[in-house]
Amino acid sequence: MTYLEAIADAMRHEMRRDERVFMIGEDIGAYGGAFKVTKGFLDEFGSKRIIDAPISEAAIIGSAIGASLNGMRPIVEMQFMDFITNGFNQVVTVAGTTAYRWGLPVPMVVRGPSGGGVGGNPFHSRNAEAWFAHATGIKVVCPAFPDDAKGLMIASIRDNDPVVFFEHKGLYRKIKGEVPEGEHIVPLGQARVVRAGTHCSVIAYGSAVHMALAAADALASEGIELEVVDIRTLVPFDEETVFQSVRKTGRVLVAHEAVLTAGFGGEIAARIADTAFRYLDAPVRRIAAFDSPTPFAPTLEQAVLPNAEKIQTAVRELCSF
Amino acid sequence: MKSKQRSAGRTASAPSSGLTSDQRKEILTYMLMAREFDTAMLRLYRQGKAFGGVYSQLGNEAVSVGSAYALDTTQDVLFPMHRNIGSHFVFGQDLDQLMVNHLAREGSQMRGTDGTGHYADPARRIYGNVSHLGAMIPVAAGFSLADQLRGITTVSLTFIGDGGAQVGEVHEALNFAAVHKIPLILIIENNQYAYSTPNSLEFACERLSDRAIGYGMYGTTIDGTDVELVYATCKEAVERARRGEGPSLIETKTMRMRGHAEHDDFSYVPKELLEEWSAKDPVETYITRIVNDGVMTADEITALREATLANMIAAIDRALERPWPAAEEGFKNVFMSV
């Protein structure tokens, strides 16, 4: 099953199971969504549960918040995650403060395609996850594999807090894998060691996990055994699994596709420095995108985004520190 | 006066309120609660005991009370703004909870995490606002949408000022509500100023309710100092919503009789304007009407008013006797579950 099919499978599973789950977004009904994630949903669930909304991200997210305050569990599709900026106030100001201020749950998943590498231009390529990790009160999920995408989606829909769920559009049809049928839950806040190694750890999420795995294959021929940790969720953040890996290898590279400055990698590096400094044999390095909007032309885009080769170079430097 | 300020065309004549004497007494009681809440809070501010901003609703009593009174408080839902304390009372607001929340003391529903009129009381179907005005309008629409999906009509009543009406989220919410025929009532309280900015620098249309035409929904502009007119107009909106005819936009013309908050001396407001609106004070004009119609005597009203103020002050005093919330509350409940 592809990464995209796994996400659809999870949502279909939850909509069949729980009448409180409904979807709202742009072009998600008869059209099936810009990426066809909701293809067939309108036929199965009807227009009351698959709501095509005007291009009004604030109204879409805001009405989902209101519905969740009234006992529903909405799933909101952003056509591209870049457009969440138009509903940012709703997510951050309203959804993210409600549990703290009112003690009331806002069970809502805002999901959609994010990330670059597909010639999307500056407005269809953004990796915006760090904004929400910084916002307080928002859970942030970034799956890298089909089984995780399904399990994390089901966990997100059942969660009582607002979740922003970043699907990497470059992985949608490229990444396939075994996905358990029916009920499959991956709890939020549990990192996964996706490749065990002894010389250096790469802490990554989303598309950067696949870059790290490609780097690990290449480095293995040089005798470097890379450990790859997929944190899977930024909030909650499973720092213990990260520290375990640091204690094991003593060398750490943090990698994400989002831009470097104030990215979540900085948070990971700081926590390692705070708690696991004495296990380090080298400074914590970061590989991330250059601090620019994601450019359009392939030459520019490939240059600014991280990739397996950049990870390999950094790992070699770390291992010879 | 009324007819002059009503929008032409949509409703030909003032709807008859059909209120009984008991209902009119009740409405006046709520208006006096709103007014004396204000008196008590202003007193507290002058004593230096108020905490945070004190946003007077002086002059807004008819809008808050008249509109909320048109709803079924057991089925409908209220998304008030910071100057809608009167609507809280119509929905059965507990006075002690109100004061404890306003003053952020121990026992507040918000645990001291927030204050003023921001709090929610789901049991009484009240969901407060956030300071980003306009942000709660789509949320109010979504609350009703949820019941619409269940086949139930729940009217959401919410408010925005002439200032907040210029926020983009208001446009999105109204358009969305119109498309999906959501039973939403938005009252635009045009109290002439957004903080210090006059209407002339806020919008260029004649009436803010003219926007309703563009959304394909009902809209009207009325005198916001006449509580029975507000009630009757809102009642019609509720009935339309229950018939499945969707949202309504009601602009109420009022005057903000104090500053944005009490720190603001509102010297930018011409004195003549305040004098002009002072003659139309919604509470005083309603008292005159109630007395003239023989519903209550002036003495009865004076006694009610004094008792109301005493209740407010007593509730404030009880709240002030409470300690501040324990500091560790600040570290709790960022999430429902971690």
The answer, yes or no, to whether residue B4 has pLDDT greater than 60, is no
Average pLDDT over chain B, rounded to whole? 93
Chain A touched by B146 (CB under 8 Å) = yes
Residue A206: inside a domain, yes or no? yes
Cα Rg for chain B, rounded, in angstroms?
19
Q: Does A160 touch chain B (CB under 8 A)?
A: yes
Please check whether residue A233 is in contact with residue A295, taking contact to mean a CB–CB distance below 8 angstroms: no
Confidence of residue B16 (pLDDT cuts 50, 70, 90): low
Q: Does A310 lie in the same domain as A252?
A: yes
Q: Where does the pLDDT of residue B115 fall: very low under 50, low under 70, confident under 90, or very high at 90 and above?
A: confident
Give the C-alpha separation, A198 to A224, whole Å: 8
Residue whose C-alpha is closest to residue B81's, from B43, B37, B36, B131:
B131
Helix (H, G, I), strand (E, B) or coil at A237: coil
Mean pLDDT by 10 residues, chain A (321 residues): 98 98 98 98 98 98 98 98 98 98 97 96 97 98 98 98 98 98 98 98 98 98 98 98 98 98 98 97 98 97 98 98 94
> Closest residue of B to A54, CA-based?
B176
Q: Please, which residues have CB within 8 angstroms of residue A173's CB and are 6 or more apart in sequence?
A: A2, A3, A4
Q: What is the pLDDT of residue A230?
A: 99
Phi first, then psi: give them for residue B243, nearest 5 degrees: -80, 0
Q: How far apart are CA A110 and CA A184, in angstroms?
A: 20
Contact criterion met (CB < 8 Å) for B142 and A54: no
Residue A182 inside a domain? The answer is no
Interface test with A, best of B133, B139, B167 (most A CBs within 10 A): B139
Residue B2 predicted with pLDDT over 60? no
A310 and A252 co-located in one domain: yes
Q: Is residue B137 assigned to a domain?
A: yes
Beta bridge mates, B158: B79, B186
Is the confidence at residue B7, as pLDDT, over 70?
no
**pLDDT at position B17, please?**
78
Q: Of the ranges A65-69, A182-186, B3-7, B271-275, which one carries the lowest mean pLDDT score?
A: B3-7
Distances, alpha carbon A219 to alpha carbons A225, A247, A294, in Å: 7, 21, 28
State which H helix or E strand residue B24 sits in. helix B21-46
Q: What is the dihedral sign for C-alpha A287, A291, A297, A303?
A: negative
Q: What is the pLDDT of residue B138?
A: 98
Percent of chain B with pLDDT over 90: 90
User: In this structure, are A142 and A11 located in the same domain?
Assistant: yes
Nearest residue to B248 via CA among B222, B290, B216: B216
The stretches of B222-326 forming alpha helices (DSSP H) are: 227-242, 271-278, 282-292, 298-321
Q: Calculate the CA A308 to chain-centre distance.
A: 19
Domain that holds residue B119: 21-319
Testing the interface with A: which of B124, B132, B184, B336 to mutate, by most A Cβ within 10 A? B336
Q: Which residue of B has its CA nearest to A19?
A: B150
Query: The whole model's pTM is what?
Result: 0.96
Whether B145 and A69 lie within 8 Å, measured CB to CB: no
In a domain, A58, yes or no: yes
Residue B64 lies inside a defined structural domain of this protein: yes
CATH of the domain at B112: 3.40.50.970
pLDDT at A19: 98
* Residue B11: predicted pLDDT: 39
How far are the Cα atoms of B209, B231, B311 from residue B8, in angstroms, in the given order? 11, 19, 42
Q: Note the ipTM here.
A: 0.96
Report how many domains make up chain B. 1
Q: Which domain holds residue A241?
A: 192-319
| A213 and A136, same domain (yes or no) | no
A61, two tokens: 């997210």
Residue B12 has pLDDT above 90, yes or no: no
Contact B135 A89 (CB under 8 A): yes
